[in-house]
Amino acid sequence: MPKLKGSLSILLIMLAILLMGGSTLQAAPSTTIDDIEMYVYINKDGSARIVEIWRATIYEGTQGSKPYGNLGNSEVINFAVTDDSGRVYNSEPSWNIKGDFDSKKYKNAIQKTSTGIELYWGISQYGQRTYTLSYTITNFVNQYKDSQGIYFSLMPKEMNQPPGSVRITLSSEDKFDESRHMIWAFGYHPGTIRFEEGSIVMDSKGALSGSGYMAALVRIPDGTYDASNKISKTFDDVYYEAMSTVNSSESSNSAASVALILLSIIGVGAPLMAVTLRASKCVGPAPDSVNFGETGKTLPDINSIEYCEDIPCDQDIIRAYWMASTYQMRSVEEARAGIIGAFLLKWLKEGTLSVIPAQDGRKQKKDTYAIGFQQLNLEPEPERVLENELRKMLIEGCGENLILTTKAFEKWCRKNYNRLYRWFAQADNYAMESLEEKGLIVHVPQQVPKFWGGTRTVQVKTATEKMKEEAIELLGFKKVLLDFSQLPAGQTHKVSLWEEYLIFAQVLGIADIVQKQFSELYPEFDRRSKFTSDITSFVMISIAQAGCNAASESYSSGGGGDSFSGGGGGAGGSSSGGGFS
């Protein structure tokens, strides 16, 4: 018993010390990485200049490090380090990982590893520290068979100290925007990737988990950079590889709300075939590619401008679509819906498209219909190239009988959403090129700052007053369509002209209002025109909604949004570790 009492006394004493918070038993503070900012500037030759700012609180160790694996044809060169005291570190030809604190002090080096390279620098001093790393990665942009792209893992997994937050900004002289680029992110769910003011921003939205990493996949229009790193794959091949290990439950977006626009297959908002974009992602077509001057893209109030009786924009559907979207007569989603609907109306008017009952065996399905296409030898005129491409894509969704049903359209959109989005980017480029040819957009020399200081001269696409006048004419035409009393009396019974008006009314998003006025002014219009059937309206809305849901599921984060928790990789991937040790 005496022995037991002694042991109990010792235990009671130890417990008392713990309860009193004895300082001798407190755990030593641990090293943390508070946050990392990373700036990636892409050069014209396809290389990237990187600047990283690490803020950390350090209590032990001798070195900091950042690994890159799976570099392929890329190299990391010109590595330099400075710290919060302004001290520039000495770049060494090699690094002794086992060296002591003093041997690494104020030094840095690139060290090859079995999987890639590691960037090292000496801690040099304990406490709250800020280190700025800079280096260049060659062949950062890849040249694929059909486009260019970036597929790079920029932050490793399983770092020694998971960063409290990471924000990565990718920028370039050629601005990034949703109309011409597509973006995905992997490894750091629920973090985000978004277009912001001409850049791409990846945000961890809090601490990066131990297994987390940050990889970006970006689709870039062909010819943007002088990329020499050729990859014998299409971008789609790379995309499917990246997505192959992503949990399918992560890749769904909510469908956009339905807006019933008469006579349009996608009159439910642009997400249908334009592949659904979340409201937070929606920006105008190439917003940073044209300088709109001091007055910007704002137009006068519609009530203060003159009526315009003639169809403006040289009766070019694509140009009218771009002007309506750019000058904010419609949102980007609505404008994209409008252009597809306008072409469908055009084909219906030309007799190369029809609305037919959908069949279930030999019987018509109740209240369901389909779209029937005629197979044509498409005209090769340059102005119809994009129109023909759109028609080809829709026909691909048909069976051998050239009938596009809701189910077939849904299936095709799920598999080919990226081609639809690419078509919109091509339409935007076509519109701007046509405006340049007509002198409505001109190139003006302008001094811009270089990334590393100084200035240089670039040619900036600039909107002229004539372009704004054309936009005002389009708004004036909309004013006429909303008030048919302003039309000359001789035009009120021309069915063919009214059908042309309806096509452009669809671009402007007022086809339902215009059609109602047609019917009131001229009741015979319903009988003489192909545009007034309730069946047509129902069919196109039905098919459109199916396409919206399917495209939204497959499109995932192509226009920005959340990061996937897995998947991805690319160059720089297959790396782990880093931090302070």
**Residue 538: helix, strand or coil by DSSP?**
helix
Distance CA 504, CA 502 (A): 5
Q: Tell me if 31 sits within 8 A of 129, measured CB to CB.
A: no
Polymer length in residues for the chain:
581
Q: 180: which 2 tokens?
A: 């011409």
Among 255-264, 368-377, 499-508, 512-521, which is the least confidently predicted range? Answer: 255-264
Mean pLDDT to the nearest integer, 9-32: 55
Q: What are phi and psi of 191, to 5 degrees?
A: -65, 175
Amino acid code (one letter) for 114: S
Q: What are phi and psi of 262, to 5 degrees?
A: -60, 140
Residue 281 pLDDT > 60, yes or no? no
Mean pLDDT to the nearest integer, 414-420: 69
pLDDT at 1: 44
pLDDT at 404: 83
* Pairwise pLDDT comparison (2 vs 291), residue with the higher score: 291
Distance CA 413, CA 401 (A): 19
**Residue 367: helix, strand or coil by DSSP?**
strand
Alpha-helix residue ranges (DSSP H) falling in 258-379: 271-274, 317-326, 332-350
Residues 317-363 pLDDT 10s:
999 999 998 898 987 667 777 787 788 888 888 888 887 877 665 55
| pLDDT band with cut points at 50, 70 and 90 for residue 528 | confident
Distance CA 209, CA 429 (A): 41
| Residues facing residue 33 across a β-bridge | 56
Q: Three-state SS across 138-164?
A: CCCCEECCCCEEEEEEEECECCCCCCC
Mean pLDDT to the nearest integer, 477-503: 75
Residues 116-152 pLDDT 10s:
999 999 999 999 999 999 999 999 999 998 889 999 9
Q: 518: which 2 tokens?
A: 């047609």
Mean pLDDT to the nearest integer, 173-196: 87
**Residue 291: helix, strand or coil by DSSP?**
strand
Average pLDDT of the chain, as a whole number: 78
| Sheet of strand 229-230: strand arrangement | 182-186, 214-220, 148-155, 142-143, 229-230
Q: Tell me if 169 sits within 8 A of 214, measured CB to CB.
A: no
| pLDDT band with cut points at 50, 70 and 90 for residue 274 | very low
Q: Which of 187, 221, 154 is nearest to 421 (CA)?
A: 221
Amino acid code (one letter) for 237: D
| pLDDT band with cut points at 50, 70 and 90 for residue 262 | very low
Residues 34-76 pLDDT 10s:
999 999 999 999 999 999 999 999 999 999 999 998 888 999 9
pLDDT at 552: 53
Mean pLDDT to the nearest integer, 537-562: 55
Q: What separation in angstroms does the CA of 369 have from each of 273, 349, 359, 503, 539?
A: 19, 19, 8, 22, 5
Q: 549: which 2 tokens?
A: 């849901």
CB atoms < 10 A from the CB of 177, how many? 21
pLDDT at 363: 53
**Residue 180: helix, strand or coil by DSSP?**
coil
Percent of the chain with pLDDT over 70: 73
